[in-house]
Structure 1
């Protein structure tokens, strides 16, 4: 995909792909050489390998917001290319390929410099995955959703209990 076009969508809510197990909606945080970084309300930071993105959708009329509040000191892994992102995720719990039969979750053990694969320890298995077949990857960083409804419910619950105490 054209990186110049994708740069115009940074800080906007977009949809990756039109549907299916890999499709996600989130805020586009960064566009790099061969990957993008998406902040999804449910799954946190997801890195998408751009060679596997079929489409990007941006609704110009209804500019949706992601239901998360991003703290000022929010930090996530960044690098110049997708392979470097994978290298920085070594020894972290990751999830590869969001949906479908190729979903894999486990500890990223090795990113091979000489070969084009990564090694994941999942349960009692050691799995080697070709870099070419990694469509997206995420790791444990998540942001709390905006909890306006929960806070309102808790406050009204406190009011009820204080009325009962009187």
Structure 2
């Protein structure tokens, strides 16, 4: 995909791919050399390898907002390329390839930076995944959803318990 075109969509709510198990709607936070960073209301930060993105959709007429409350000091992993993002996710709990039969979840280790695979430890299995076949990846960063009255769910939980 054209990097310049993708930069024009930063801070907008977009849909990655038209449908299927990898398709997600979220706020485009950043565009890098070979990946984009998407904030999804349900799953948090998702890093998409741009080589696997078929389409990006932005609804110019119905410009919807994402129903999340992004904290001021919200931070996420940023790197020059997708392999560097993977390197920064070493020894974190990750989810690879969001949908379909190729979904994996577990503790990730990238090993040597020259390797062309990552290692996922899930239950008693050690799984090696080719870097080329990682369409997207996420880790535990999530933000609170906003209700219709403008308050986050966390704020409402505290209010209800008093």
Output the TM-score relative to the length of structure 1. 0.89
Contact 1:112 1:118 (C-alpha < 8 Å) held by counterparts = no
Contact 1:98 1:136 (C-alpha < 8 Å) held by counterparts = yes
1:106 to 2:106 alignment? yes
**Higher helix content, 1 or 2:** 1
Look up the match of 1:19: 19
Q: Which runs of 5+ in 1 are unaligned?
A: 159-166
CA distance in 1, matches of 2:10, 2:114: 33
Aligned residue for 2:4, secondary structure, equals helix
Output the TM-score relative to the length of structure 2. 0.91
Look up the match of 2:124: 124
Aligned residue for 1:84, secondary structure, equals helix
How far does the alpha carbon of each residue in 1:32-53 deviate from its partner, in whole angstroms, 9 at most, with x for none?
0000000000000000000000
Look up the match of 2:145: 145
- Taking only aligned residues, the RMSD between alpha carbons, in angstroms, comes to 2.0
Return the offset for 1:109: 2.0
Contact 2:86 2:110 (C-alpha < 8 Å) held by counterparts = no
How far does the alpha carbon of each residue in 1:13-61 deviate from its partner, in whole angstroms, 9 at most, with x for none?
0000000000000000000000000000000000000000000000000
How far does the alpha carbon of each residue in 1:96-124 deviate from its partner, in whole angstroms, 9 at most, with x for none?
00000000000002343222000010111
CA distance in 2, matches of 1:93, 1:68: 22
Look up the match of 2:83: 83
Look up the match of 1:164: none
CA distance in 2, matches of 1:112, 1:49: 20
Q: Which runs of 5+ in 2 are unaligned?
A: none
The count of residues paired between Structure 1 and Structure 2 equals 158
How far does the alpha carbon of each residue in 1:50-98 deviate from its partner, in whole angstroms, 9 at most, with x for none?
0000000000000011110111100111100000000000010000000
